[in-house]
Structures are given as structure tokens and as C-alpha cells.
Amino acid sequence: PGIVDGRVIQPQRELPVLHTTDVLVIGGGSAGVCAAIAAKRAGADVCLVERYGHFGGLWTGGLVLLILGHIVTGGKQVCQGIGEEMMRRLDKMDGAIVNRRRGANPTVDAEATKYLMVEMVDEAKIDVFLHCWGVDAIMEGDAVRGAVFESKSGRQAILAKVVIDATGDGDLFAAAGAEFEHRSHNVGLVTRIANLDRVDADRAKLSPKPRPLGGVTPVPGVNWVNMRGPEVDGLCVATLTRMELNHRKFIWQNIQRTRKVPGYEQVYLTETAPQLGVRITRVLHGLHTLTREDLRAGKRFPDVVGVGGSENGQHDEWQIPYGSLLPRTVDNVLASGRCIDAEMRMADLVRLIPNCFVTGHAAGAAAAVCAADDCMPREVEVAKVQKLLREQDAYLG
């Protein structure tokens, strides 16, 4: 770039093509990993690109360790398929998950989960590029044909038959020109604190209990502590910087106050999440907007590709239509995870980790069918997608 008349101008240049694939998944969080595995198991060539050096997104990097949203009234579990496979495999690992029982909300260990996701992605033989940030969409008319990435290798392109936006923020569909709503939400920073098993109970009961002390994790004596934080714009870099700095100061100061309470002197801060807890930013304007009315009415959709659960297990299941993953205007890109089309009240359910498993699984299956049939996502035979999802043990109601 150069400065011309006081403006910074980026000159036109040819980009090297790093990779060509059937299905490109941008974002290696809970939705993106499920999408990539689903598509690969269906026979597609898959490339998974992630900005960090690990998989899991907010689930692992954000320390969102408590699993909510997989059950409904009566303890019935609706999150099945690849997401449930992850839970079963964590259950077989030492120190990876606690409270894994019917009707309960389990808590996972972030490092065990990162390891498991690497193992599952490797088993599927998915092409992976870490430390790559998707910065632009490659367009052919109204269709997305790939994406541009920035990394230590410079700016490069990946071309694909079908693209899945699993960035959480809708970075790719926004770059492609899809319509979306820009929302603000609470932004916090999750921590883990240790030595809770060394609290002197006799001395501690003589003083007011310090807060917050969080909830248990699979690691004995270690709790995870959530933080809600203020409602801000999660797309503003200045705001994100301020939140990061302010939260880290508050967390450190709070743990020092805790250590001054009699009985709690050995409690210490063992980890702050490397990823800021952004809950929602861009939400797709899709072919169908999920609403609380859909949930309350138990609405059933002919294009159902998944079923979501409840944060507290206190309401019935709700179907997720394929149309909520599809942009109204731009084609050849599928949304997954927290940025699919849902009204604000419904988005708080959509963004829960198990429901991200479900929409990621759905997007991956749809993309694989599109790649095999050489068609756009809006043209795909939804019945084929539903058949594939059921073959992969997904629950569609």
C-alpha cells in the first residue's frame, strides 16, 4: 500500500492459491470442527482454517466449559451426531469431563477437549491450516468461490466448491455482501482458579464467602469462573482491547481480595482465557428467522436439519430449518454456529455449544451433498441432506 493524496491505497495484485478443495470451513470452533468432520465423512475433500493455534473456539479458547443446551424437558438429550460422539469420547478420557449423566450439564477440560478435536480431525484426514485469519470472500457473481487469508506466509487464497462460515462473527458472509444484523452483547473473560480443595474450612466459615468462586471442573480443586461483562460492540477493535485490559486487571485484583479472606490464602489464578468471551456480533439475515414463537409452538419445518435444546432443560426441543443457514442474497456459503438467522431472544439458545455442534453438523452435511451433486446450497435436495444427517446419527425430531 501507498499514500496517495492523503489516502492509503492498496494496489491490485495477484494472490497465490494456497489450496483448492470441495468444502472450505472457516473457523475451527465447535461448529466448524463438526462441519468439517461431517463433510469429510460424507466423502468430500475438506479444508479447515482456524485463526488460533488450536480447535474449539470459545469452547476451549474461551473456557466456556459448561455444556448447556443439549437437553430438554424431562432430561431428554437432543444433541446427537458428531457433538454427542465428542462427549462420549471425552467420557472415556481421564480427567476430561465431569457430571456426564442423563439430565445433567457436564463440564469439560479445555486441554483434553483440544486434544480430542485434533485427534478427530486427524482421523478424518482433513486438510488444516492454523494461524490463518479469513479476511475476504472470493466472488464469482453472487456466489462465494473461496476466501482470502492472512497468515505469516502473507495473503493467500483458498478456492472451494462450497464455503461454510463458522467464524462466529459472520466474517465471511459479511465480506461476501450478505445481509446481516449487527448486535451488541455482554463481553466477559472466563478464568480458572485453583486450590479450592485447600481452603481451610474451619477458618473460612468465620468469614463471608468470597465471590465468585465458580463451578467445578474435571481437575480436582480447580473451578472455572464465568464473567458476564458489559454489553458492547464485539466488532470494534478499540472496544475489544479495552475489555481485554479491564477484565484482566479486575480478575487479578479480585483473586488478590479472595486470598485475603481467612481460609482462602492458597487460592490462586491458574488461567485466564486466551480468547475474549464475545457472545454475539453479526447475525445472518437468512431465508428463515428462528423465533421464540417457533419454540413455544413446537413448530416443525419440512427442511429441518437439526434440533436444539434448552439452557436449563426447562422447555421442549425446537427444530432448526435449513433456511436459517442460508443467506437471502449471496449463494454458495452456509452459516453455522451462533451467527445463523435467529431473533435476539432465540440467539441466546443458538449460541450454546451443543446447538453449535448441531448447526455445524448440518452445514457440513449440506456442503458435502452440494459438492457431490455440483449444486449451490440453495438448490440442494434437502431430503438428501436429511438422509445423510440421520446416517451420521443426527437427531431431527
* Total Cβ atoms within 10 A of residue 150: 15
pLDDT score of 145: 99
Average pLDDT estimate for 379-391: 99
Q: How far apart are CA 102 and CA 113, in angstroms?
A: 20
pLDDT score of 104: 86
Please write the tens of the pLDDT for every residue from 336-352.
999 999 999 999 999 99
Confidence category of residue 111, pLDDT binned at 50, 70, 90: very high
Confidence category of residue 395, pLDDT binned at 50, 70, 90: very high
Query: What is the bridge-based pairing of β-strands 191-194 and 268-272?
Result: antiparallel
Q: How far apart are CA 145 and CA 162, in angstroms?
A: 7
State the SS3 of the chain.
Answer: CEEECCEEECCCCCCCEEEEEEEEEECCEHHHHHHHHHHHHCCCCEEEECCCCCCEHHHCCCCCCECCCCECHHHCECCCHHHHHHHHHHHCCCCCEECCCCCCCCEECHHHHHHHHHHHHHHHCCEEECCCEEEEEEEECCEEEEEEEEECCEEEEEEEEEEEECCCCCHHHHHCCCCEEECCEEEECCEEEECHHHCCHHHHCCCCCCCCCCEECCCCCCEEECCCCCEECCCCHHHHHHHHHHHHHHHHHHHHHHHCCCCCCCCEEEEECCCCEECCCEEECECCCECHHHHHHCCCCCCEEEEECECCCCCCCEEEEHHHHCECCCECEEECHHHCCECHHHHHHHCCHHHHHHHHHHHHHHHHHHHHHCCCHHHCCHHHHHHHHHHCCCCCC
* Total Cβ atoms within 10 A of residue 303: 18
User: Is there a contact between 95 and 135 (Cβ–Cβ < 8 Å)?
Assistant: no
Q: How far apart are CA 167 and CA 253, in angstroms?
A: 32
Q: Is the pLDDT of residue 103 over 90?
A: no
Q: How far apart are CA 53 and CA 131, in angstroms?
A: 6
pLDDT score of 312: 77
β-bridge mates for residue 77, sequence order? 71
User: Is there a contact between 304 and 320 (Cβ–Cβ < 8 Å)?
Assistant: yes
Cis preceding linkage at 212, omega within 30: yes
Q: How far is CA 143 from CA 12, 27, 350, in A?
A: 21, 20, 26
pLDDT score of 319: 98
For residue 335, give the C-alpha cell: 452459516
Q: Is the pLDDT of residue 315 over 90?
A: no
Classify each residue of 69-84 as buried b or exposed e, where b means 16 or more C-beta atoms within 10 Å of its C-beta. bbbbeeeebbbbbbbb
Q: Is the pLDDT of residue 314 over 90?
A: no
Confidence category of residue 102, pLDDT binned at 50, 70, 90: confident
Domains, the chain: 17-183+280-391 (3.50.50.60), 185-278 (no CATH)
Confidence category of residue 131, pLDDT binned at 50, 70, 90: very high
Please write the tens of the pLDDT for every residue from 271-307.
999 999 999 999 999 999 999 999 999 999 999 999 9
pLDDT score of 299: 96
Q: How far apart are CA 234 and CA 225, in angstroms?
A: 21
Average pLDDT estimate for 188-208: 95
For residue 24, give the C-alpha cell: 472450505
pLDDT score of 211: 87
Q: Is the pLDDT of residue 186 over 90?
A: yes
Please write the tens of the pLDDT for every residue from 209-237.
998 899 999 999 999 999 999 999 999 99
pLDDT score of 141: 97
Helix axes 30-41, 110-124, angle to 10 degrees: 20
